[in-house]
Amino acid sequence: MNRTPPPIPVALTLKKKTQCLDVEFSDGLKATLPAEYLRVHSPSAEVTGHRSGEGILVTGKETVGVDRLEPVGRYAVRIVFDDGHDSGLFSWRVLYDLSINQEQRWQRYMERLAEAGHERARVQ
């Protein structure tokens, strides 16, 4: 396991209108993470499952929003979603991984939806 500390966020901005989290890290990486992406990739046991692998396929979150961000010490943020989900602690390492791998993770999520026969609802 990589023990090198990840870059840390120097700015976290919740954009309520677009339901995106803008994050900027100490190494200069900037990312815009949509609420749906964060919700379906939550690091909670409810989503990741209790064993290794891709975790549980979360569906129907196309219009999920973020109610608020809650700091957790100096190492994480709790994202409270408007569907009631609030049990995932997004550590800086998790947020960085979600940021640098956003395109690949989203593509794999779309593939998993298709494999399971789920269609994403169109968002207006």
Residue at 123: amino acid letter = V
Q: How confident is the model at residue 4 (pLDDT cuts 50, 70, 90)?
A: confident
Return the closest-CA partner of residue 76 out of 49, 43, 41, 105: 43
pTM of the model: 0.91
User: Considering its fold, how many domains does the chain have in total?
Assistant: 1
Report if residue 80 sits inside a domain: yes
Report if residue 1 sits inside a domain: no
Cα 89 to Cα 72: distance, rounded to the nearest angstrom: 8
Report if residue 109 sits inside a domain: yes
Q: What average pLDDT does this structure show over 51-74?
A: 89
CATH number of the domain encompassing residue 62: 3.30.2020.30
Q: What is the pLDDT of residue 51?
A: 58
Report if residue 3 sits inside a domain: no
